Structure 1
Amino acid sequence: MSTATTKALSLLVLLFFVSLVHATDPCLINSIYQFGDSIADTGNLIRNGPTGAKSHAASFPYGQTYFQQATGRCSNGQLMIDYLARRLQLPLLNPYLNVNTTQPSSFSNGVNFAVAGSTALNSSFFTSRNLHVPATNTPLSTQLSWFKSHLRSTCHSPSCLKQSLIMMGEIGGNDYNYGFFQGKSTEEIRSYIPHVVGAIAAAAREVIRAGAVNVVVPGNFPIGCFPIYLTSFPVNDPKAYDDKGCLIRLNEFAVDHNNQLQEAISSLQKEFPGVVIVYGDYYNAFQYVLRGSVGFDKSVALKSCCGVGGGYNYDGMRQCGAVGVPVCQNPDKFISWDGVHLTQKAYRFMSKFLNYKILPQLKCGGA
């Protein structure tokens, strides 16, 4: 090998390692504000009145793997928002309704406004369509009110948010869940999509006008791969399932939502050219976990770790946390925790996929 070639290879190796160093440098984000539902709730639902306090996430086995106690997270351990906070070298976010966090410093690095079971749209949208939503529903409009109230007490200038990251969801999944599980047709539920996307875009617009310059707007999961949907909507025709056993029709519905959401994000980006608005691709992050299955047991890829009954280890009448419902011996082998939410390990792998895609796009240091 010639000297010139050796020098060239040495330079390439050097550049590669330099790029790795820069790739692991955390973005200078000093706070995170999380909106959403059970995918991100770190303890608001269980503090949201007597009904919330009795939810399954308020008791074991939720939280068993990492926290050794239930914290209100709908998993056996940490969520994607926890991994994101750690990646940015920030403390885990306190839930907004945690009355024990009375010190201002408890929220100095952001706040979690997400509440399990919440919707993007107000409850009136559903009641007008003869759909029941829980009394604990805390839609985006309410979460935004919390956000504004928090800012009024802690921030007196739009510059306060220049080094903040806004996580606008994931939200919207429950808007469709309430329709699907109360017997509405796919065609009718599909008509909800523009309303849901509009509510998410409007919320993103509000936080941007409040001064946010880094906004992540996540999409929906491939719901046709989740035990709750696979159990509730079985189809006899093998062609209704993809090569991984997921229901194609339901995944196509999620793709429709995600496509419309990305169109709305593009419009927002044109409206606010100086703001970074990033689509959080939860759909493909989940597919990355399912299809890669690194360290997971492929034989239980679509089954719940905590659950009982049927081909997917899920029974809506006997859910995880109920008396007599067993928990698998090794949650790290499973993607689904309880048929609706994922295991800590699945969230960790999804976070790696998402952080790699999202963080390089952010405006760091308030630049």
Structure 2
Amino acid sequence: MALPLLPLSVEELCQSEKISKMGTLKVSNSLCRFSKILVICMVAFSLVDSSYCVCEFEAIFNFGDSNSDTGGFHTAFPAQPGPYGMTYFKKPVGRASDGRLILDFLAEGLGLAHLSPYLESIGSDYSHGANFASSASTVIPPIASFFLSGLSPFSLSIQLSQIKQFKARVDELHQTGTISSSGRSSGTKIPSSPDIFKKAIYMFYIGQNDLTSKIAATGSIDGVRDSFPQIVSQINDAIKELYALGARTFMVFNLGPVGCYPGYLVELPHASSFDFDEFGCMISYQNVVNYYNKLLKWTLSQTRERLADVSLIHVDTHSALLELFHHPTLYGFKYATKTCCGYGGGDHNFHPKILCGNVLASACAEPQEYVSWDGIHFTEAANKIVAHAILNGSLFDPPFPLHERCDLQPIG
């Protein structure tokens, strides 16, 4: 049985067997206990006064791609079309979803406001952190321009340079006293103290575009593993550089099960019909991602042993997302590998030349029934479930008592 998250009905799940298209899904006692505990925790969260929050972590600094970009890419390359943002924000806000991302929910859970993109020049609030993520970003810098490669120029190394510049500027403003009592400088709200960089969680959610762009460029999955050591090494080096600047708490998200993503099921090459498992996911891609995730986890464990007083946490989002693809109905979804916003209908509702946002594409009426939003990214409903699993600590390696260090807030 895969990782349990949050069934739609715990009592129904524990008292009966769920029948899926692929056969009978037997539910273990541990799953029932886990689910009941999670529901109790969620109820407890809902009773907490949201105006009161004590947390050791006063900020989040995030590095990533479209999985965690809160508007950076579309600040640099405007503008994002509808129906993106339709569920929560009621308009496009630069997020690759119908609503909030996992990062948004994590910020809410920590009692923080949603992160402003680093590149946003108007109305930004950096008092609780900043988001350096950019859609289409890679770990390894692209060798061609965005207009040729489709990859963002804001690779991980650029994002790392941006936070160094940001920190240096914050330090300078505090040293010179050119900051108001409200924490504002030139109309932008910045951290009230340079100490915030030591009291922040540094998150990494990046690497997916390195994998898929290489496959798209070569037309084959063969040899893609050769680039993994370089990708993991550069993430690891970024962690070490931030550690030298005072960072002490890191959360590194692994790669999701891209072999199940509707867009990749349609667009990426695959060997034959025998490459699909019982859930309709491509086995070859699942194997490649598993290999990468094991390498990432092992590398982080080695770094953890070498760095003093560091919390370096591997976040297994892969297991959580895979559970949603394998057993969508347990979590209230009707469709796993079918896209909500797309074109073409059929099993996946995805056309590589008519993407979500195209005038010919359209969004489903009920995004909460879908795991996949646009074939590559997730609906707000799916993101919320994964965020719950992160906040309750079930995806952490090694275990990290987040609930003991923060009065976690309800995520709506």
Give the superposition deviation at 1:29: 1.1
User: For each residue in 1:6-39, what CA deviation from the matched residue of structure 2 results, as whole angstroms up to 9, or x when unmatched?
Assistant: xxxxxxxxxx99x959x96864211000100000
1:216 and 2:251 equivalent? yes
Partner in structure 2 of residue 142 of structure 1: 158
Mapped partners of 1:273, 1:69: distance in 2: 45
1:70 and 2:92 equivalent? yes
Superposition map of 1:10-29 within 5 A: 27-29=55-57
Unaligned runs of 5+ in 1: 1-15
Mapped partners of 1:114, 1:20: distance in 2: 30
Q: Give 2:356's match in structure 1, choosing from 312, 320, 329.
A: 320
RMSD across aligned positions (CA): 2.6
Query: What is the TM-score when the length of structure 2 is the normalising length?
Result: 0.75
Higher relative contact order (CA closer than 8 Å, sequence separation 6+): 2
Displaced runs of 4 or more, over 3 A: 23-27, 155-160, 233-239, 294-298, 358-365
Mapped partners of 2:377, 2:312: distance in 1: 26
Cα gap change, 1:303/1:259 in structure 2, threshold over 3 Å: closer, same or farther? same
Mapped partners of 1:232, 1:200: distance in 2: 27
Partner in structure 1 of residue 384 of structure 2: 348
Partner in structure 1 of residue 134 of structure 2: 115
Partner in structure 2 of residue 36 of structure 1: 64
Moved more, 265-274 or 288-297: 288-297
Superposition map of 1:276-295 within 5 A: 276-293=311-328, 294-295=330-331
Give the superposition deviation at 1:138: 0.8
Task: Report if the CA contact (8 A) 1:288-1:350 is conserved.
Answer: no
Query: What is the TM-score when the length of structure 1 is the normalising length?
Result: 0.84
1:332 and 2:354 equivalent? no
Task: Report if the CA contact (8 A) 2:138-2:151 is conserved.
Answer: no
Mapped partners of 2:72, 2:268: distance in 1: 30
Identical-residue share of aligned pairs (%): 30
| SS of the residue 1:301 aligns to | strand
Give the superposition deviation at 1:252: 0.8
Partner in structure 2 of residue 10 of structure 1: none
Task: Report if the CA contact (8 A) 2:216-2:268 is conserved.
Answer: no
Unaligned runs of 5+ in 2: 1-36, 46-52, 173-192, 407-412
Mapped partners of 1:178, 1:240: distance in 2: 20
- Which amino acid is the alignment partner of residue 134 of structure 1? G
| SS of the residue 1:152 aligns to | helix
Mapped partners of 2:142, 2:316: distance in 1: 27
Cα gap change, 1:154/1:177 in structure 2, threshold over 3 Å: closer, same or farther? same
User: For each residue in 1:127-179, what CA deviation from the matched residue of structure 2 results, as whole angstroms up to 9, or x when unmatched?
Assistant: 9xxx95336321011001110111112247984323200002x1111011111
Superposition map of 1:88-237 within 5 A: 88-101=110-123, 106-124=125-143, 133-134=149-150, 136-155=152-171, 159-168=195-204, 170-233=205-268, 237=272
